[in-house]
Amino acid sequence: MVSLPILSVLTFLPLIGAAVILLAGNGDEEARARFAQRTALGVSGGTLVLALALLAAFDPSVPGFQFMERFVWIPAYNISYIKGVDGISLWFVVISAVLTPVAVLAAIGSVKKRVREFMIALLVLETMMIGTFTALDLVLFYVFFEGVLIPMFLIIGVWGGEKRTYAAYKFFLYTLLGSVLMLVAVFAMALYAGTTDMTVLMGGKFPKEMALWLWIAFFASFAVKTPMWPFHTWLPYAHVEAPTAGSVILAGVLLKMGGYGFIRISLQMLPDASLVFAPLVIGFSLIAIVYASLVALAQTDMKKLVAYSSVAHMGYVTLGLFSFNRQGFDGAMMVMLSHAFVAGALFLCVGVVYDRLHTREIDRFGGLASGMPKYAAAFMVFTLAAIGLPGTSGFVGEFLSMQGAFLVSGWIAFAAALGIVLGAAYMLWLYRRLFFGPLDKADVRAMPDLNGREIAMFAPLLVLVLWMGVYPSSFINVYAPAADNVLSFFGAQAHEAQHD
């Protein structure tokens, strides 16, 4: 039976769109820019529709991979082109597909130079992201995983702010370390197992000592990407210098590639080594939660503040994953999904005022609640989600992650829960400085409230944040069998928490 290779279509549709922008379109520069914007919006919108169709067609009762595609790619080395999704990767495909059109909308408002190139970069980025999450061959995974960095480098390096050189350099140095080690590990795995088929590599098939080294090599890459403390210092700079659309994708999707890598490779392929290193990861996670929250409290730049809050939130991801039980795993997944929308939205929020006043200094604002009530309301909802208020998406993940950690040790949960107090402190302090107080600066008073385009980019995120907060089961149920599948390697630990 020949069926539509939906995952390949999904992966390469944005790339085709990029090619169209590159080749087609005529008229003056302005017309071509407009054509590029419309094409990017249309193609990323089409990709979203396709991703939602995939979600609808997906059978959540099956734990394994679905929509498999398999072609021999490089026969000499037994490297194949294999694609497939399970419930876990499916959600990452969906967040990529949701956030790209949102980023396009943001870019339409804020990117004024080299518009076509920017749209091309965004679409290439989408191909790379979806490619990463649907790849089931290790080499293919590596190509996409690292390929993401090229358009991201360009987005920061070309369209970035004043210190983009430094930011891109830092980004580069960190990822250099990760990618070199990861590449070595990929080849070592391939040579040992004789295949790069990820479905075959899963289940802890490597000798103990080799697994430990492999784990460390992958850890270097994922820890930088996530980012985990103390590999996080590239993130604040990358965010500050990146244009809004870049930050949305960076925070929304790119950081999740670290978490996804931890699940797919560290947990599924190297479970024994994961158990060995769990105390280290948990220790780093706890430090990340408390440390990054404290540092966020001291920030004067809106984007840096949100960036540090991302580091703290990612602490809950790694904490949950390395608790090796369902609550922890679900916590990690829900934090990642929620953070994709919430952090994406918060960067959009920063972009809204940056577009108007060209500053991100928190103290330049104040009293915005009077002048921009719609903006204030949207920002409030995302703030509440960021501080994990029950009923918003942020709560579900943090709660489950800490619940999972508690089952490992009450003291771990105790330390992690400090983050909920500190998180409320830095977010409300930010909100207060931006929105409350008198509206006494003339240029701030002159800023108009949200326009139609901006409402269009916030609306879907608002709905998702509340939906995920009130009815998270609709998200968890999709990947539940896959999660049990991942945790089956950790039998004893996972069952300890089951109780029923």
* 462 is a site residue for other proteins (CB under 8 A): no
Q: Is residue 295 a contact point for other proteins (CB under 8 A)? A: yes
**Beta bridge pairs of residue 137:** 197
Instruction: Give the residue among 393, 311, 384, 379 at the shortest CA–CA distance from 349.
Output: 379
Query: 120 to 139, contacts with other proteins by CB under 8 A?
Result: none
Residue 11 binds to other proteins (criterion: CB under 8 A): no
According to CB under 8 A, which one of 16, 57, 298, 463 is a site residue for other proteins?
298
Residue 327 found at the interface with other proteins (CB under 8 A) = yes
Of the residues 9, 49, 53, 184, which one makes contact with other proteins according to CB under 8 A: 184
180 binds other proteins (CB under 8 A): yes
Per CB under 8 A, the list member of 10, 15, 413, 464 interacting with other proteins is 413
Q: Which amino acid is at 155?
A: I
* 473 in contact with other proteins (CB under 8 A): yes
Of 73 and 169, nearer to other proteins (C-beta) is: 169
CA distance 343 to 386: 8
User: Shortest distance, CB of residue 41 to other proteins, whole angstroms?
Assistant: 28
- For position 149 contacting other proteins by CB under 8 A, the verdict is yes
Contact status, residue 372 vs residue 306, Cβ threshold 8 Å: no
Its sign, for the CA torsion 204, 205, 209, 214, is: negative
Q: Looking at residues 217 to 246 of the shown chain, list those that interact with other proteins (rule: CB under 8 A).
A: 230, 233-234, 236
Q: How far is residue 115's CA from residue 32's CA, in Å, rounded to a whole number?
A: 9
**How many residues touch other proteins (CB under 8 A)?**
83
CA atoms within 13 A on the CB side of 432: 7
Which window, 30-38, 101-109, 130-138, 326-334, contacts other proteins (CB under 8 A)? 326-334
State which residue, 46 or 437, has the beta carbon closest to other proteins. 437
DSSP code, position 361: B
**Which residue type, as a one-letter code, is found at position 125?**
L
Closest to other proteins by CB, 434 or 461:
434
Interface residue with other proteins among 44, 134, 179, 266 (CB under 8 A) is: 179
Of 172, 204, 212, 493, the residue at the interface with other proteins (CB under 8 A) is 172
Q: To the nearest whole angstrom, how small is the minimum distance from the Cβ of residue 71 to other proteins? A: 23
Verify binding: residue 456, other proteins, rule CB under 8 A.
Answer: no
Contact between 150 and other proteins by CB under 8 A: the answer reads yes
Q: Is residue 321 a contact point for other proteins (CB under 8 A)?
A: no
Bridge partners, residue 80, by sequence: 72
Query: CA–CA separation, 152 vs 246, rounded Å?
Result: 7
Backbone φ, ψ for residue 69 (5° rounding): -130, 140
Q: Does 498 sit near other proteins (CB under 8 A)? A: yes
> Of these, 19, 22, 55, 183, which contacts other proteins (CB under 8 A)?
183
Does the protein bind other proteins through residue 479 (CB under 8 A)?
no
Rounded (10°) angle between helices 149-159 and 115-134: 150
Q: Please, what is the minimum distance in Å from the beta carbon of residue 477 to other proteins?
A: 8
Q: Does 216 bind other proteins (CB under 8 A)?
A: no
Pairwise CA distance, residues 500 & 498, whole Å: 6
Window 89-108: residues binding other proteins (CB under 8 A): none
Shorter beta-carbon distance to other proteins: residue 77 or 355: 77
Mark the segment that binds other proteins (CB under 8 A) among 109-117, 125-133, 342-350, 408-416.
408-416
> Between 90 and 185, whose beta carbon lies closer to other proteins?
185
Of 89-97, 337-345, 430-438, 446-454, the window that binds other proteins (rule: CB under 8 A) is 430-438
280 binds other proteins (CB under 8 A): no
DSSP codes of every residue in 49-106: HHHHHHHHH--TT--S-EEEEEEEEEGGGTEEEEEEE-HHHHHHHHHHHHHHHHHHHH
| Interface with other proteins, residue 500, by CB under 8 A | yes
Tell me how many helices (H) and strands (E) the chain has.
24, 2
**Per-residue x/- track, 188-207, other proteins (CB under 8 A):** x--x----------------
Give dist(CA 104, CA 454) in Å, integer. Answer: 11
Contacts of 43 (CB under 8 A, 6+ apart): 13, 14, 16, 17, 20, 123
Interface with other proteins includes 325 (CB under 8 A)? yes
Residue numbers 344-403 binding other proteins by CB under 8 A: 367, 369-370, 384, 389-391, 396, 399-400, 402-403
Locate 123 and state its tokens.
């679409």
Tokens for 177, please give them.
Answer: 């370390």
Q: Which residue lies nearer to other proteins by CB, 13 or 434?
A: 434
Site for other proteins contains 451 (CB under 8 A): no
**Choice between 68 and 188, CB closer to other proteins:** 188
- Which one of residues 330, 351, 362, 386 is an interface residue with other proteins (CB under 8 A)? 330
Output the CA torsion 74→482→227→350 (10° steps): 110
Report DSSP state, residue 231.
S
Rounded to the nearest angstrom, the gap between the alpha carbon of residue 494 and the centroid of all alpha carbons in its chain is: 26
DSSP state letters, 269-338: H-HHHHHHHHHHHHHHHHHHHHHHHHHHHT--BHHHHHHHHHHHHHHHHHHHHTTTSHHHHHHHHHHHHH
At closest approach, how far in Å is the CB of 407 from other proteins? 6
CB of 171 to other proteins, least distance (A): 9
